[in-house]
Amino acid sequence: MGVFLRISSRMDYLIEKANWRDFVDLYRLEKVVFEQDAWPWFDLLIVLTFPGFVRLKAVHGDGGGMIGFVAGELRRGDGAGWIVTLGVLPEYRRKGIGQALLRQCERLLNSRRIRLCVRKSNLPALKLYQQEGYVVFTTWANYYHGGEDAFVLEKILPG
Ligand SMILES: CC(C)(COP(=O)(O)OP(=O)(O)OC[C@H]1O[C@@H](n2cnc3c(N)ncnc32)[C@H](O)[C@@H]1OP(=O)(O)O)[C@@H](O)C(=O)NCCC(=O)NCCS
Protein backbone atom coordinates (compact mmCIF):
# COMPACT_ATOMS: atom_id res chain seq x y z
CA MET A 1 0.00 0.00 0.00
CA GLY A 2 1.46 3.37 -1.01
CA VAL A 3 1.95 5.87 1.77
CA PHE A 4 2.46 9.55 1.06
CA LEU A 5 3.74 11.24 4.18
CA ARG A 6 2.66 14.81 4.81
CA ILE A 7 4.22 16.59 7.76
CA SER A 8 2.99 20.14 7.83
CA SER A 9 3.52 22.89 10.35
CA ARG A 10 -0.20 22.55 11.13
CA MET A 11 -0.52 18.77 11.65
CA ASP A 12 1.07 15.41 10.83
CA TYR A 13 -0.98 13.09 8.69
CA LEU A 14 -0.57 10.37 6.10
CA ILE A 15 -2.18 9.97 2.72
CA GLU A 16 -2.66 6.31 1.82
CA LYS A 17 -4.41 4.33 -0.87
CA ALA A 18 -7.88 3.30 0.31
CA ASN A 19 -9.66 -0.02 -0.33
CA TRP A 20 -12.80 -1.95 0.64
CA ARG A 21 -11.57 -2.35 4.22
CA ASP A 22 -12.15 1.41 4.62
CA PHE A 23 -15.86 1.10 3.92
CA VAL A 24 -17.13 1.65 7.48
CA ASP A 25 -14.82 4.63 8.07
CA LEU A 26 -15.79 6.15 4.73
CA TYR A 27 -19.50 5.61 5.38
CA ARG A 28 -19.18 7.51 8.69
CA LEU A 29 -17.06 10.29 7.20
CA GLU A 30 -19.43 10.73 4.28
CA LYS A 31 -22.43 11.25 6.59
CA VAL A 32 -20.61 13.88 8.67
CA VAL A 33 -19.01 15.70 5.75
CA PHE A 34 -21.78 15.73 3.15
CA GLU A 35 -25.00 15.47 5.21
CA GLN A 36 -27.86 15.78 2.65
CA ASP A 37 -25.49 15.10 -0.26
CA ALA A 38 -24.01 11.92 1.29
CA TRP A 39 -23.74 9.08 -1.20
CA PRO A 40 -25.66 5.86 -0.53
CA TRP A 41 -23.60 2.94 0.73
CA PHE A 42 -23.49 1.15 -2.63
CA ASP A 43 -21.90 4.17 -4.33
CA LEU A 44 -19.24 4.24 -1.63
CA LEU A 45 -18.61 0.53 -2.16
CA ILE A 46 -18.26 1.10 -5.91
CA VAL A 47 -15.75 3.88 -5.42
CA LEU A 48 -13.73 1.68 -3.04
CA THR A 49 -13.73 -1.44 -5.22
CA PHE A 50 -14.26 -0.79 -8.92
CA PRO A 51 -11.18 -0.69 -11.14
CA GLY A 52 -10.34 2.66 -12.68
CA PHE A 53 -10.82 4.75 -9.53
CA VAL A 54 -8.10 6.57 -7.65
CA ARG A 55 -9.06 6.46 -3.94
CA LEU A 56 -7.00 8.01 -1.21
CA LYS A 57 -7.60 8.53 2.48
CA ALA A 58 -5.94 10.90 4.93
CA VAL A 59 -5.27 9.37 8.32
CA HIS A 60 -4.04 11.01 11.49
CA GLY A 61 -0.26 10.76 11.88
CA ASP A 62 -0.74 9.30 15.37
CA GLY A 63 -2.42 6.23 13.89
CA GLY A 64 -6.06 7.26 14.09
CA GLY A 65 -8.83 6.60 11.62
CA MET A 66 -9.81 8.27 8.40
CA ILE A 67 -9.97 12.07 8.55
CA GLY A 68 -10.28 12.81 4.84
CA PHE A 69 -11.01 11.08 1.56
CA VAL A 70 -10.75 11.79 -2.16
CA ALA A 71 -11.67 9.73 -5.20
CA GLY A 72 -11.14 10.32 -8.88
CA GLU A 73 -11.97 8.54 -12.10
CA LEU A 74 -10.67 8.76 -15.64
CA ARG A 75 -13.61 9.19 -18.03
CA ARG A 76 -12.43 8.41 -21.51
CA GLY A 77 -15.66 9.83 -23.03
CA ASP A 78 -14.63 13.38 -22.34
CA GLY A 79 -10.91 12.77 -22.03
CA ALA A 80 -10.78 14.08 -18.48
CA GLY A 81 -10.01 12.85 -15.01
CA TRP A 82 -12.88 13.66 -12.63
CA ILE A 83 -12.54 14.30 -8.92
CA VAL A 84 -15.76 12.59 -7.82
CA THR A 85 -15.58 13.28 -4.10
CA LEU A 86 -13.37 15.18 -1.65
CA GLY A 87 -14.07 15.65 2.03
CA VAL A 88 -12.27 16.35 5.31
CA LEU A 89 -13.81 15.98 8.79
CA PRO A 90 -14.77 19.40 10.20
CA GLU A 91 -12.29 19.32 13.10
CA TYR A 92 -9.38 18.70 10.71
CA ARG A 93 -10.12 21.44 8.18
CA ARG A 94 -7.84 24.38 7.27
CA LYS A 95 -4.72 22.27 7.86
CA GLY A 96 -3.87 21.64 4.22
CA ILE A 97 -5.37 18.13 4.09
CA GLY A 98 -7.97 18.86 1.39
CA GLN A 99 -5.36 20.48 -0.79
CA ALA A 100 -2.91 17.57 -0.32
CA LEU A 101 -5.58 14.95 -1.13
CA LEU A 102 -6.63 16.89 -4.22
CA ARG A 103 -3.07 17.28 -5.52
CA GLN A 104 -2.20 13.63 -4.95
CA CYS A 105 -5.40 12.48 -6.67
CA GLU A 106 -4.73 14.76 -9.65
CA ARG A 107 -1.23 13.30 -9.91
CA LEU A 108 -2.45 9.68 -9.84
CA LEU A 109 -5.24 10.35 -12.35
CA ASN A 110 -2.47 11.16 -14.78
CA SER A 111 -4.68 13.28 -17.04
CA ARG A 112 -3.93 16.76 -18.37
CA ARG A 113 -7.57 17.77 -17.94
CA ILE A 114 -9.20 17.47 -14.51
CA ARG A 115 -12.85 18.28 -13.83
CA LEU A 116 -15.18 18.26 -10.85
CA CYS A 117 -18.53 19.66 -9.81
CA VAL A 118 -19.41 21.70 -6.77
CA ARG A 119 -22.45 23.47 -5.32
CA LYS A 120 -22.51 27.12 -6.36
CA SER A 121 -22.86 28.10 -2.69
CA ASN A 122 -19.93 25.98 -1.44
CA LEU A 123 -17.51 28.83 -0.82
CA PRO A 124 -14.80 26.88 1.08
CA ALA A 125 -14.53 24.33 -1.72
CA LEU A 126 -14.69 27.01 -4.42
CA LYS A 127 -11.88 28.90 -2.68
CA LEU A 128 -9.74 25.76 -2.54
CA TYR A 129 -10.37 24.87 -6.19
CA GLN A 130 -9.76 28.44 -7.37
CA GLN A 131 -6.49 28.48 -5.44
CA GLU A 132 -5.51 25.20 -7.12
CA GLY A 133 -6.09 26.60 -10.61
CA TYR A 134 -9.64 25.45 -11.43
CA VAL A 135 -11.92 27.68 -13.54
CA VAL A 136 -15.62 27.42 -14.37
CA PHE A 137 -16.14 25.17 -17.40
CA THR A 138 -19.95 25.02 -17.40
CA THR A 139 -23.00 24.96 -15.12
CA TRP A 140 -25.41 22.07 -14.50
CA ALA A 141 -28.83 23.37 -13.51
CA ASN A 142 -30.74 21.74 -10.60
CA TYR A 143 -27.96 19.23 -10.09
CA TYR A 144 -28.07 18.90 -6.30
CA HIS A 145 -30.73 17.97 -3.74
CA GLY A 146 -32.86 21.04 -3.17
CA GLY A 147 -32.41 22.18 -6.77
CA GLU A 148 -29.11 24.02 -6.43
CA ASP A 149 -27.00 24.36 -9.57
CA ALA A 150 -23.50 22.91 -9.87
CA PHE A 151 -20.45 24.61 -11.24
CA VAL A 152 -18.39 22.22 -13.32
CA LEU A 153 -14.79 23.32 -12.82
CA GLU A 154 -11.82 22.41 -14.94
CA LYS A 155 -8.08 22.56 -14.56
CA ILE A 156 -5.58 21.99 -17.33
CA LEU A 157 -2.29 20.70 -16.02
CA PRO A 158 0.94 21.68 -17.76
CA GLY A 159 1.84 19.11 -20.44
C1 LIG B 1 -13.60 21.75 0.89
C2 LIG B 1 -12.78 20.95 1.90
C3 LIG B 1 -12.47 19.55 1.35
C4 LIG B 1 -11.44 21.69 2.16
O5 LIG B 1 -10.64 20.88 3.00
P6 LIG B 1 -9.55 21.50 3.96
O7 LIG B 1 -8.66 20.40 4.42
O8 LIG B 1 -10.18 22.35 5.00
O9 LIG B 1 -8.77 22.47 2.94
P10 LIG B 1 -7.28 23.01 3.10
O11 LIG B 1 -6.93 23.19 4.54
O12 LIG B 1 -6.38 22.16 2.28
O13 LIG B 1 -7.44 24.46 2.45
C14 LIG B 1 -6.61 24.88 1.38
C15 LIG B 1 -7.05 26.27 1.00
O16 LIG B 1 -8.41 26.28 0.53
C17 LIG B 1 -9.07 27.49 0.96
N18 LIG B 1 -10.10 27.17 1.95
C19 LIG B 1 -10.40 25.97 2.48
N20 LIG B 1 -11.43 26.06 3.34
C21 LIG B 1 -11.79 27.37 3.35
C22 LIG B 1 -12.78 28.10 4.05
N23 LIG B 1 -13.63 27.51 4.94
N24 LIG B 1 -12.88 29.44 3.82
C25 LIG B 1 -12.06 30.05 2.96
N26 LIG B 1 -11.06 29.42 2.27
C27 LIG B 1 -10.95 28.09 2.47
C28 LIG B 1 -7.98 28.34 1.63
O29 LIG B 1 -7.38 29.12 0.62
C30 LIG B 1 -7.04 27.27 2.15
O31 LIG B 1 -5.73 27.72 2.37
P32 LIG B 1 -5.36 28.41 3.80
O33 LIG B 1 -5.94 27.56 4.89
O34 LIG B 1 -3.87 28.45 3.78
O35 LIG B 1 -6.01 29.78 3.75
C36 LIG B 1 -13.53 20.84 3.28
O37 LIG B 1 -13.98 22.13 3.66
C38 LIG B 1 -14.73 19.91 3.24
O39 LIG B 1 -14.61 18.71 3.45
N40 LIG B 1 -15.91 20.47 2.98
C41 LIG B 1 -17.16 19.67 2.95
C42 LIG B 1 -17.19 18.74 1.76
C43 LIG B 1 -17.06 19.50 0.47
O44 LIG B 1 -17.65 20.56 0.29
N45 LIG B 1 -16.29 18.92 -0.46
C46 LIG B 1 -16.12 19.47 -1.78
C47 LIG B 1 -17.27 19.02 -2.63
S48 LIG B 1 -16.99 19.48 -4.30
Is the CB of 10 within 6 Å of ligand 1? no
Q: Verify whether ligand 1 is closer than 6 Å to residue 33 (CB atom).
A: yes
User: Which CATH number is 3-156 given?
Assistant: 3.40.630.30
Q: What is the DSSP string of 121-156?
A: T-HHHHHHHHHTT-EEEEEETT-SGGG--EEEEEEE
Q: Residue whose CA is closest, atom 35 of ligand 1?
A: 94
Nearest CA to ligand 1 atom 48: 118
143 lines ligand 1 (CB under 6 A): no
Strand order from edge to edge, sheet including 150-156? 3-7, 12-17, 53-60, 66-75, 80-88, 113-119, 150-156, 135-140
> Cα of 116 to ligand 1 centre, how many Å?
15
Say what the pLDDT of residue 103 is. 97
pTM of the model: 0.95
* pLDDT mean for each 10 residues of the chain (159 residues): 64 92 98 94 97 96 89 93 98 96 96 97 98 98 95 93
Which of 156, 51, 48, 52 is CA-nearest to residue 106?
Answer: 156
The pLDDT assigned to 47 comes to 98
Q: In the prediction, which pLDDT does 120 show?
A: 97
- Helix and strand numbers (H, E) in the chain are 4, 8
Distance, CA of 57 to CA of 75 (rounded, Å): 21
* Strand, helix or coil for residue 63: coil
The reported pLDDT for the residue numbered 76 is 85
Give me the residue spans of the domains in the chain.
Answer: 3-156
Give the residue from 4, 11, 15, 14 showing the smallest Cα distance to 95: 11
Residue 111: partners with Cβ closer than 8 Å, 6 or more residues away: 74, 79, 80, 81, 157
Task: Provide the pLDDT for residue 62.
Answer: 79
Query: What is the per-residue pLDDT for 6?
Result: 67
Q: Residue 97: CB within 6 Å of ligand 1? A: yes
Backbone angles phi, psi at 124, to 5 degrees: -60, -45
> What's the confidence (pLDDT) of residue 10?
66
Distance CA 48, CA 144 (A): 23
Q: Taking the chain, what is the end-to-end CA distance rounded to the nearest angstrom?
A: 28
Please indicate whether residue 131, judged by its CB atom, sits closer than 6 Å to ligand 1: yes
